[in-house]
Amino acid sequence: MVDFEGEYGRRYNNMIERAMPGYTGMSELTLAILRSHMKTFENLLVIGAGGGNELISFAMEGWNITGIDPSPQMLELAKQRLAQIKPESKIELLCDRFENFEKSKEFDAITSILVMHFLPDDGSKSNFLKKVFHHLKEGAIYIHVDVCKLAGTPMETVGEIAINYLKSAGLVHTRAEAMEFLKNGSSGGHFSVPTRMEELFREAGFIQIQQFFQGLYYCGWMMKKGSVK
């Protein structure tokens, strides 16, 4: 598992936009999707809120935001960043794993960005998504972005492209440094192909599942809680 309490966590905000091709565009699309589904002062749950990237993006929308993250260091970084602006939104931060989240309220939208790949596909991913489903209002939107293997593309090929990308992004200078970066960044990761991800979404009960983003080694989906008629 990545140590978000160490140097990786301290570097995360400065690194993630360059490390994940298209990260800024994905974030802008996420906000656009939320804006199209939510009204002012409705309730949003942000899973993996540490670091504050999503919180900063959402903070001026006037929504009631609950953010949860298991890393004290990452939540402290989020608090520091929020203190530098004047959020229109009411923001509550909780230091815990989402698996332990016990609030009885239902949310108008939930986001989980680059979180679930840390869970193995031994029932843990399924339970995570079912818990998300449970905490959504009927008809509410869920946005899920995760690291995944691209179907039909050998990981060796993806790895070679990633090495060259990291070098061109200025994050590393040598192949050895790139390999170490990828090893640290994916430590503890349990990746699935998009077809498996969509199967998990359907099993959890989600409908209207649409992929809205695909990068080199991560994808984004939007979906709703609802009953299939």
CB-based contacts of 184, cutoff 8 Å, min separation 6:
2, 8
Inform me whether the pLDDT recorded for 59 exceeds 80: yes
pLDDT for the residue 188: 54
User: Worst-scoring range by mean pLDDT, 36-40, 156-160, 206-210?
Assistant: 156-160
- What is the Cα–Cα distance from 120 to 99, expressed in whole angstroms? 14
Residue tagged 């293997």 (tokens): 149
Nearest to 135 by CA among 127, 125, 146, 147: 127
pTM of structure: 0.88
Q: What class, spelled out in words, does domain 7-150+189-224 have in CATH?
A: alpha beta
pLDDT value of residue 169: 81
Between residues 141 and 151, which one has the greater pLDDT?
141
How high is the pLDDT of residue 215? 85
Give the tens place of pLDDT for each residue, 182-217.
Answer: 766 554 567 788 899 999 999 999 999 999 999 888
pLDDT over 70 percentage in the chain: 87
